[in-house]
Amino acid sequence: MSLSVGDVAPDFSLPDQDKQVVSLSAMRGRPVLVVFYPFAFSGTCTGELCQLRDELSTYTDAGVQVVAISTDPVFSLKEWRTQQGFEFSLLSDFWPHGETAKAYGSFFEAAGMPNRGTFLVDAEGKIAFAEVNGPGEAREQSGWKAAVAEL
């Protein structure tokens, strides 16, 4: 079951690409865009996150912190971030496997990977935008941008 607008966003504490723990609760007081994706280095995920990279100012200019979460290990995330020039944190939901994605209703159990879930968490920790796309369904990012504009 996915989260809905108005729900309290589940807290998480996950290591980033540099093995530094990032917690949603530590970012309270500013909005956070939480982007789940299946796998680093895959075609669709690379396209989506490169678009996010290229349009990052849309979010940062609005005061939104961006984090992207997959079940990849931190070592893969570090290399992918370096190769692609991502300036946002890539968080590893590797172990316990997919626990954060499950808490957000964005885990595809049969394949052991997150679905493409996107959640805008407002400064008070509530979901302001929620969308989960199934396997193979690329995201349209205009919905996220509209939700950011409404903050």
Residues annotated catalytic, as ranges: 45
Alpha-carbon gap, residue 119 to 104, rounded angstroms: 9
Q: How far apart, in whole angstroms, are the C-alpha atoms of residue 148 and residue 143?
A: 9
Q: Which residue's entry shows tokens 């369904």?
A: 137
Provide the residue count of the chain.
151
* Closest to 40 measured CA to CA, from 88, 13, 74: 74
Which parts of the chain are beta strand (E)?
Answer: 13-15, 21-23, 32-36, 65-70, 89-92, 107-108, 113-114, 116-121, 127-133
